[in-house]
Structure 1
Amino acid sequence: MSQAPASQPAVLTVLQSYFDGRHHGDLDALREVFHPGAIYVCATEDHLTYLTMQEYFPIVASRTPPAANSEQRRDAIETISFAGQKTAFARVRCSIGKRHFTDFLTLIHSEGRWQIISKVFHFDLLENEGI
């Protein structure tokens, strides 16, 4: 695994846009950070959730964004690792309502910019957080 410190600020910018897009329900921001061919996967529940971006974006559009409910942000970047100059992996945490997510985001550098190509995540329910 190689470090690519010159790329780290650009990846951090993408991750912040990801957090902001989720919190505000900003589809334009999310379309910028996700590669059009990205996948969205969760195996937390009894069934596997596997969506394309064309399937995921309408879900985002239909829900009330956390910002509209004045939800406290719980965004955190736990790790970023690089494999060469065009591949990165980020483990991040964030919340929506009573769901606290651990996201594994794989990013690629293509056509002059970084984008998320896969989001595989797990969530826990926060019952006693007062959210």
Structure 2
Amino acid sequence: MSNVLTDIQSVIGDYFDALYHCDTVLLEKVFHPKAVYATADQTPLLHRTMAEYVPVVAKRQSPASRGEARRDAIDEIQLAGDNTAFARVRCSIGNNDFTDFLTFVREDGRWKIMAKIFQIKPREEGAA
């Protein structure tokens, strides 16, 4: 079981790196091609496919290029079985903090993010 957790943590680490550097090649490596990306923090509800999401990341100025401090954390990982898992993670981009619920599937022995549902919280003035 510890290998499974290590494998999922590795995917999450790559996910954090992809967002921090706006690395779309790495982003496509960690997400399943049919993954869902959504938040109810926008009206109407924001829902994107990977074909819609990856170009958005490609157009961003990366947090790394702006010298932003990394604020990545894994809060929890839960296993539902041999091929399904869930992780609650946190990260920051610009002045926003994100809580992401990531659902994973294992296909052909590799863990991929199948769904990213997230909450956006503007960072308060002076918060580190």
Q: Secondary structure at the match of 2:71?
A: coil
Q: Which residue of 1 aligns with 2:79?
A: 82
Residues 1:48 and 2:45 aligned together? yes
The 3 A distance-change label for structure 1 pair 130 and 70 is farther
Q: Which residue in the other structure is 1:121 paired with?
A: 118
Q: Stretches of 4+ moved more than 6 A in 1?
A: none
Percent identity of the aligned residues?
Answer: 45
- In structure 2, list runs of 5 or more residues that go unmatched: none
Number of residue pairs aligned between Structure 1 and Structure 2: 128
Which consecutive residues of structure 1, in runs of 5 or more, have no partner in the other structure?
A: none
User: Secondary structure of the residue that 1:85 maps to in structure 2?
Assistant: coil
Q: Does 1:20 find its partner at 2:17?
A: yes
* Structure 1 Cα separation of the partners of residues 127 and 66 of structure 2: 13
> How does the TM-score come out when normalised to structure 2?
0.96
Alpha-carbon distance in 1 for matches of 2:60, 2:18: 13
- C-alpha separation between the residues in 1 aligned to 2:48 and 2:80? 25
Deviation at 1:130, TM superposition (A): 6.5
- State the AA in 2 paired with 1:58: P
Question: TM-score, normalised on structure 1?
Answer: 0.94
Aligned to 2:92: 95
The one-letter amino acid paired with 1:17 is D
Paired residue type of 1:63 = R
CA RMSD of aligned residues (A): 1.2
